[in-house]
């Protein structure tokens, strides 16, 4: 297949299609691309539509039933995909809009946090062969039970990567920034764009709260070997660069980016009695699997219970989390012998400041320097965890802005030119 015959998948986020003027500008970008290659477009809901729909649902029913909430939320993407298709048609570009179910995105049965099981892109291939630009509603699919499902916050990224994998296509992600930066460019004046970054480091950044790409999309790209090109929908000040996310085994050791998740909840389950004897391994394994599956990170398990961190900024379904946690506690109580949870505690005034790079677990100088930066800023460290790709520092939420700025300045802002591809 020649390059002109190979499809391209373009994904536009909610800010890129927030109003009719932006829809028209996006249509111009798509029209230019469609003259070169068969084009599939994945689109999110317009602006803050999803947040508005969630508020409306909660004003009528608290908590909203997950199935009905999914039915409601998918209308956001359906609206934007139909309006974008109409805009393209108005420009003389033949376009057709398809829902996730119409284009063969098959998911598991979880409402609100469904995972894509497979993609059957037969309808898309037929429409491309007919010369149409295919506009797909992101964030949604259909389960084997023929239920409409949503993929959770950032799910349109995952939709785009999954479609690119199924079509053997390139994947281009358009947002309000021209790629991936080593810090939040909206808050850090010294932040520099990274020309190329590997899957592991990008996934670590996403899990740590960076808003450019959803972690599941990066993981799926790594599984399928799909390169992602992160670009700005509407470049400003001549910034027309990009970041390429793909396999990058030659990444140098050291810190490449700093990010901060400012909405972190600490969840602690305290057992009524210590777990001991033969039941220890089984109970700890069950706790670890279950809480990890619920989205709890940085788990610390001992004989008296388990503590983990939940990112509120990456979840729209905290009520669902609490319900699932309640079911887990009930299952533990009905074990033989029973395991009783004496206390369930939440603490929500925390943030996680994360340094992302390569070989951080082996580099003591990185952790020593990071701790020194916090001490000099008067920021109290409440916990620390490191692995090969990241160093996570638990701090108070009201100290997050100061700590992030100081850490970025100390670790990444130098007089030499910005870091590029490696």
Q: What is the mean pLDDT of residues 322-336?
A: 81
Closest CA relative to residue 254, chosen from 367, 395, 353: 367
End residue of a domain, out of 198, 225, 251:
251
d(CA 337, CA 325): 20
pLDDT of the residue at 420: 46
Is 181 annotated as contributing to ligand binding? Answer: yes
Contacts of 381 by beta carbon, 8 Å cutoff, 6+ apart: 371, 374, 393, 394, 395
Q: What angle do CA 358, 243, 386 make, to 5 degrees?
A: 20
Q: What is the mean pLDDT of residues 310-325?
A: 74
End residue of a domain, out of 212, 231, 251:
251
Domain boundaries, position 232: 8-251
β partners of residue 109:
none
* Inter-residue contact 157 to 14 (CB < 8 Å): no
Give the CATH number for residue 337: 3.30.2130.10
272 vs 239, more confident: 272
| 222 and 103 fall within a common domain | yes
Tell me, yes or no, whether 76 lies in a domain.
yes
Tell me, yes or no, whether 132 lies in a domain.
yes
d(CA 181, CA 178): 9
Give the CATH number for residue 81: 3.40.1160.10
Tell me, yes or no, whether 402 lies in a domain.
yes
* Bond from prior residue into 63 cis (ω within 30 degrees of 0): yes
pLDDT of the residue at 260: 94
d(CA 152, CA 158): 10
| 13 and 69 fall within a common domain | yes
| 130 and 207 fall within a common domain | yes
| 298 and 224 fall within a common domain | no
Q: Reduced to 3 states, what is the DSSP secondary structure of residue 85?
A: helix
Q: What is the mean pLDDT of residues 260-276?
A: 82
Is 346 annotated as contributing to ligand binding? Answer: no
pLDDT of the residue at 391: 92
Contacts of 22 by beta carbon, 8 Å cutoff, 6+ apart: 15, 16, 233, 234
pLDDT of the residue at 418: 44
pLDDT tens track for 94-148:
999 999 999 999 999 989 889 999 999 999 999 999 999 999 999 999 999 999 9
Check whether 189 has a pLDDT greater than 60.
yes
38 vs 388, more confident: 38
Is 13 annotated as contributing to ligand binding? Answer: yes
Q: Sheet of 390-396: strands edge to edge? A: 297-302, 305-311, 254-271, 341-358, 390-396, 383-386
| 77 and 129 fall within a common domain | yes
| 263 and 247 fall within a common domain | no
| 124 and 246 fall within a common domain | yes
Question: What Cα–Cα distance (Å) separates residue 286 from each residue in 280, 291, 292, 293, 302?
Answer: 10, 8, 10, 11, 13
Total count of domains within the chain:
2
| 130 and 243 fall within a common domain | yes
| 265 and 168 fall within a common domain | no
On average, the pLDDT of the chain sits at 88
Tell me, yes or no, whether 14 lies in a domain.
yes
Closest CA relative to residue 258, chosen from 316, 336, 324, 188: 188
Tell me, yes or no, whether 403 lies in a domain.
yes
Tell me, yes or no, whether 418 lies in a domain.
no
| 247 and 263 fall within a common domain | no
Q: What is the mean pLDDT of residues 269-292?
A: 71
Tell me, yes or no, whether 419 lies in a domain.
no
Check whether 417 has a pLDDT greater than 90.
no
pLDDT of the residue at 317: 64
pTM above 0.95, yes or no: no
d(CA 340, CA 74): 39
Tell me, yes or no, whether 63 lies in a domain.
yes
| 396 and 308 fall within a common domain | yes
Closest CA relative to residue 40, chosen from 171, 157, 151, 186: 171
Question: What Cα–Cα distance (Å) separates residue 225 from each residue in 162, 171, 281?
Answer: 11, 11, 36
Is 11 annotated as contributing to ligand binding? Answer: yes
β partners of residue 386:
391
Check whether 262 has a pLDDT greater than 70.
yes
| 207 and 323 fall within a common domain | no
Number of H helices, E strands in the chain: 11, 20
Is 50 annotated as contributing to ligand binding? Answer: yes
End residue of a domain, out of 202, 223, 251:
251
Q: What angle do CA 209, 210, 213 make, to 5 degrees?
A: 115
């Amino acid at each position: 297949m020649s390059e002109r015959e190979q499809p391209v998948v373009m994904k536009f986020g909610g800010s890129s299609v927030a109003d009719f003027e932006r829809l028209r500008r996006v249509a111009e970008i798509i029209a230019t691309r469609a003259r070169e290659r068969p084009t599939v477009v994945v689109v999110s809901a317009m602006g803050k539509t999803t947040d508005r729909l969630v508020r409306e649902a909660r004003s009528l029913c608290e908590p909203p039933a997950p199935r009905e909430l999914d039915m409601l939320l998918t209308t956001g993407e359906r609206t934007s995909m139909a309006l974008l298709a109409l805009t393209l048609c108005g420009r003389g570009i033949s376009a057709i809009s398809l829902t996730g179910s119409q284009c063969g995105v098959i998911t598991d049965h979880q409402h609100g946090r469904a995972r894509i099981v497979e993609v059957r892109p037969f309808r898309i291939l037929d429409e491309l062969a007919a010369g149409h630009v295919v506009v797909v509603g992101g964030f949604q699919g259909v389960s084997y039970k023929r239920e409409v499902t949503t993929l959770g916050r950032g799910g349109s990224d995952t939709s785009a990567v999954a479609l690119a994998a199924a079509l053997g296509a390139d994947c281009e992600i358009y947002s309000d920034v021209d790629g991936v930066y080593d810090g939040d460019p909206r808050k850090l004046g010294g932040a520099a764009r990274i020309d190329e970054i590997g899957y592991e480091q990008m996934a670590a950044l996403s899990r740590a709260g960076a808003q450019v790409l959803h972690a599941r999309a990066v993981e799926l790209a790594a599984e399928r070997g799909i390169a992602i090109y992160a670009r700005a929908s509407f470049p400003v000040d001549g910034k027309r660069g990009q970041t390429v996310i793909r396999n990058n085994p030659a990444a140098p050791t050291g810190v490449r980016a700093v990010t901060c998740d400012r909405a972190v909840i600490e969840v602690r389950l305290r057992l009524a009695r210590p777990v001991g004897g033969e039941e220890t391994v089984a109970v700890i394994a069950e706790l670890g699997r279950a809480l990890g599956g619920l989205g709890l990170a940085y788990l610390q398990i001992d004989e008296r219970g388990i503590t983990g961190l939940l990112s509120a900024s990456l979840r729209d379904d905290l009520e669902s989390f609490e319900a699932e946690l309640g079911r887990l506690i009930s299952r533990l109580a009905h074990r033989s012998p029973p395991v009783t949870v004496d206390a369930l505690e939440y603490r929500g005034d925390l943030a996680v400041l994360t340094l992302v790079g390569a070989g951080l677990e082996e580099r003591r100088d990185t952790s020593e320097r990071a701790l020194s930066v916090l001490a000099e800023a008067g920021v109290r460290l409440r916990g620390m965890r490191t692995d090969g790709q990241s160093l996570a520092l638990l701090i108070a939420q009201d100290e997050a802005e100061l700590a992030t700025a100081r850490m970025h300045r100390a670790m990444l802002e130098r007089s030499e030119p910005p870091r590029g591809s490696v």
